[in-house]
Amino acid sequence: MENLIAPLIAAPLLGAAVLLVGGRRLDRVGHWIGTLLSTASFVFGLILFADLLGKGAEHRTLTQHLWTWIPVGGFQADVTFRLDQLSMTFVLLITGVGSLIHLYSVGYMEHDERRRRFFGYLNLFLAAMLLLVLADNYLLLYVGWEGVGLASYLLIGFWQHKPSAATAAKKAFLVNRVGDMGLSIAIMLMFTTFGSFAFGPVLSHTGDASEGKLTAIGLMLLLAACGKSAQVPLQSWLGDAMEGPTPVSALIHAATMVTAGVYLIVRSGAVFNAAPDAQLAVTVVGAVTLLFGAIVGCAKDDIKKALAGSTMSQIGYMVLAAGLGPIGYVFAIMHLVTHGFFKAGLFLGAGSVMHGMNDEVDMRRYGGLRKYMPVTFITFGLGYLAIIGFPGLSGFFSKDKIIEAAFAKGGTEGWILGGAALLGAAITAFYMTRVMLMTFFGEERWRNQPTRSPGAPSAEPAAETHGEHAEPHPHESPKVMTIPMIVLAVGSVFGGAFFSIGDRFLHWLEPVTGHSEGDSPLSAAAVTGATMVCLVIGVAIAWAQYGRKPVPAVAPRGSLLTRAARRDLLQDDFNHVVLVRGGEHLTRSLVYVDHTLVDGVVNGTAAGFGGLSGRLRRLQNGFARSYAVSMFGGAALLVAATLLMRAV
């Protein structure tokens, strides 16, 4: 059965190759080829899943060795896949949500001339992401890691004719390089410490290594995770990445790729368990990011950027949970899966709204859309209830567990982390309610609007078919788009309950990640109660601000915090001042040193030799007599030197 792992990756890889190499003659069927191969991969995943379920919990690890990739002495890199409960979970999420989004894209990208290429990139992404989660060693994982980075770059910049998209793609790529560097350093450290970078030897020998080395490896892995999962301080690219087509935002920048950092931390749990300092750093990053993303999400008027802030925040929850160690690993992954459902659903809903609204993204020009888009409204609404943690829906179960686990960390840390998580829950409720109210309720602010000013966020190219100046005519999206939204909404509603009742998910994942109950100062009921209170407060404030009074079509100036949050809490300003300016100063001073000192030495040497050459050249005067004298002198010296050597 393990022979089915390779086809799992090969199917979308084949799709990418066929679609990208195939050329224009595949334009008319390309999207269906892509969707079919993605679905095939999902079916392989289901078969493997059924197989795993049929085995005992301790036999649920399959490995497939394909070939030895780099054999150099002690450096042995194999192409080996490992399918266990953790990677199985990811495989189903990636291929399942991925297939739904492929289907959705068939409708969403209908009018795009480069749709075939788009599906080729999507398939490439699936293949790389599957490689990432199925690799049996860190080096192969790194290949997938870079592969998803490439696919993300290509898809963010898919509408490369827009300078903003091209810039965003470049930004994502550059920021990710910082994280990638962390991963490569971590791999090197592993090799020097353990003599291997395969999961087995590294993770089962953490006891042999010093805590200092493990902390270093852990921090480097955390850096990698920060880059890929948009965690503070490498979070700045995610908001701009929304320049990509909305299905991309749903699949890559919400449900799957951005969670790769969480996968990396959970997979490397053994390293973090033995390095408490690194673990603490992980929880701090998670807690800071969950508040950071939530605050940014509150201030954004662009629906996709508001959701992007939310994504950042929710991944912050997952990272926080992953940093808690065995108390939190299972819940990090559980929240990851439920988040995959509801956030993908929310993004697809946002895409559907934009599809019906001439690709308008400014929520201040929405309003009252529930009448015109009932399916989108209901699915988006269910996703909304799930993310804020409405009792009974997915988010309620998974987020609640993380908050409990944060308190269970114990001590002051537990209180701080738990408090942050609770506060985050309240803010989540606020900004999501804000999105919901501004989009689907209130007055229809899109009527009788002045035409778009040139400086406003530019439309996606599909807008050309609608005409730029026409008043939007909101309408429901075609079935090919709504069906994936409905499926994801079902997942958002029932996923959490399905996983949590009887601790199904816990028992499934526990053999891989391990689990321990923490020592919580609060009872589970108390935490749930507190969460509910926060939820109600958040919703109530949002209602007071956006439900009771009309939403101004032009954003008010707002408080200092609001303005800062609109600028992503000054992340770009910070990067500009510290990194760009600092880098410029560094390069300028290096150039100065290079020009004066290095070039001076080099040019001086060259000039010196040139002058010497010109002088020596004059000895070559063309007269045979001078040459003979030089030979005679040389011979005399030779003889004299030989005699002298003997004398000495």
Partner 1 sequence: MSAAAVHSLWTTAAEPISKIDAPKIEYGQLSPTLIVVGAALIGVLIEAFVPRRSRYYAQVFLSAVALCAAFAAVVALAADGFGTTKAHIAAMGAIAVDGPALFLQGTILLAGLVGLFTFAERRLDPAAHGNRVDSFAAQAASVPGSDSEQAAVKAGFTTTEVFPLLLFAIGGMLIFPAANDLLTLFVALEVLSLPLYLLCALARRKRLMSQEAAVKYFLLGAFASAFTLFGIALLYGYAGSVSYARIAEVVDGTVTNVDPALANTMGNDALLLIGGAMLAMGLLFKVGAVPFHMWTPDVYQGAPTPVTGFMAAATKVAAFGALLRLLYVVLPGLRWDWRPVMWAVAIITMLGGAIVAITQTDIKRLLAYSSIAHAGFILAGVIATSKDGVSSVLFYLAGYSFVTIGAFAVVTLVRDAGGEATHLSKWAGLGRRSPLVAAVFAVFLLAFAGIPLTSGFAGKFAVFKAAADGGAVPLVVIGVISSAIAAFFYIRVIVLMFFSEPKPDGPTVAVPSPMTMLAIGMGVAVTLVLGVAPQYFLDLASQAGVFVR
646 binds partner 1 (CB under 8 A): yes
Considering only the stretches 100-108, 232-240, 344-352, 619-627, report the one whose residues sit in contact with partner 1 under the rule CB under 8 A: 619-627
Residue that is written with structure tokens 């079902």 in the block: 490
DSSP string across 172-216: HHHHHHHHHHHHHHHHHHHHHHHS--BHHHHHH-GGGS-HHHHHH
Whether 316 and 424 have beta carbons less than 8 Å apart is answered as: yes
Q: Which residues in 511-540 contact partner 1 (CB under 8 A)?
A: none
How far is it, in rounded angstroms, from Cα 334 to Cα 321? 10
Burial status of residue 184 (CB atoms within 10 A of its CB: 0-12, 13-18, 19 or more):
middle
How far is it, in rounded angstroms, from Cα 10 to Cα 156? 24
631 binds partner 1 (CB under 8 A): yes
- State the SS3 of 598-635: HHHHHHHHHHHHHHHHHHHHCCCCCCHHHHHHHHHHHH
Residues contacting partner 1: total by CB under 8 A = 29
Compute the least distance from the CB of residue 599 to partner 1, in Å: 15
643 binds partner 1 (CB under 8 A): yes
Considering only the stretches 36-44, 234-242, 443-451, 622-630, report the one whose residues sit in contact with partner 1 under the rule CB under 8 A: 622-630
610 binds partner 1 (CB under 8 A): yes
638 binds partner 1 (CB under 8 A): yes
Considering only the stretches 97-105, 314-322, 368-376, 637-645, report the one whose residues sit in contact with partner 1 under the rule CB under 8 A: 637-645
Compute the least distance from the CB of residue 590 to partner 1, in Å: 24
Considering only the stretches 138-146, 196-204, 230-238, 602-610, report the one whose residues sit in contact with partner 1 under the rule CB under 8 A: 602-610
How far is it, in rounded angstroms, from Cα 527 to Cα 201? 39
603 binds partner 1 (CB under 8 A): no
627 binds partner 1 (CB under 8 A): yes
How far is it, in rounded angstroms, from Cα 181 to Cα 500? 37
612 binds partner 1 (CB under 8 A): yes
639 binds partner 1 (CB under 8 A): yes
Burial status of residue 644 (CB atoms within 10 A of its CB: 0-12, 13-18, 19 or more):
exposed
Closest CB to partner 1 among 525 and 616?
A: 616
606 binds partner 1 (CB under 8 A): yes
Compute the least distance from the CB of residue 629 to partner 1, in Å: 9
Q: Per-residue x/- marks for partner 1, 449-488, CB under 8 A?
A: ----------------------------------------
Considering only the stretches 39-47, 75-83, 375-383, 605-613, report the one whose residues sit in contact with partner 1 under the rule CB under 8 A: 605-613
Considering only the stretches 12-20, 497-505, 510-518, 614-622, report the one whose residues sit in contact with partner 1 under the rule CB under 8 A: 614-622
Considering only the stretches 190-198, 316-324, 334-342, 606-614, report the one whose residues sit in contact with partner 1 under the rule CB under 8 A: 606-614
How far is it, in rounded angstroms, from Cα 212 to Cα 395? 37
Closest CB to partner 1 among 554 and 619?
A: 619
Q: Which residues in 23-62 contact partner 1 (CB under 8 A)?
A: none
Cβ-proximal residues to 549 (8 Å cutoff; 6+ apart), any chain: none
Whether 100 and 484 have beta carbons less than 8 Å apart is answered as: yes
How far is it, in rounded angstroms, from Cα 105 to Cα 34? 11
634 binds partner 1 (CB under 8 A): yes
Whether 290 and 421 have beta carbons less than 8 Å apart is answered as: yes
Compute the least distance from the CB of residue 604 to partner 1, in Å: 14
Whether 3 and 64 have beta carbons less than 8 Å apart is answered as: yes
620 binds partner 1 (CB under 8 A): yes
Considering only the stretches 41-49, 56-64, 515-523, 627-635, report the one whose residues sit in contact with partner 1 under the rule CB under 8 A: 627-635
Residue from the set 21, 72, 554, 641 that interacts with partner 1 by CB under 8 A:
641
The first and second tokens of residue 306, run together, are: 């508001």
Contacts 24+ apart (CB under 8 A), 549-554: 550/442, 550/443, 551/364, 551/367, 551/437, 551/438, 551/442, 551/445, 552/364, 553/364, 553/365, 553/445, 553/449, 554/364
Listed residue (254, 430, 431, 439) closest to 347, CA to CA: 254
81: helix, coil or strand?
Answer: strand
Reply yes or no: is the peptide bond before residue 484 cis, omega within 30 of 0: no
Compute the least distance from the CB of residue 640 to partner 1, in Å: 9
628 binds partner 1 (CB under 8 A): yes
Residues within the interface to partner 1 (CB under 8 A): 606, 609-610, 612-614, 616-617, 619-620, 622, 624, 626-628, 630-635, 637-639, 641-643, 645-646
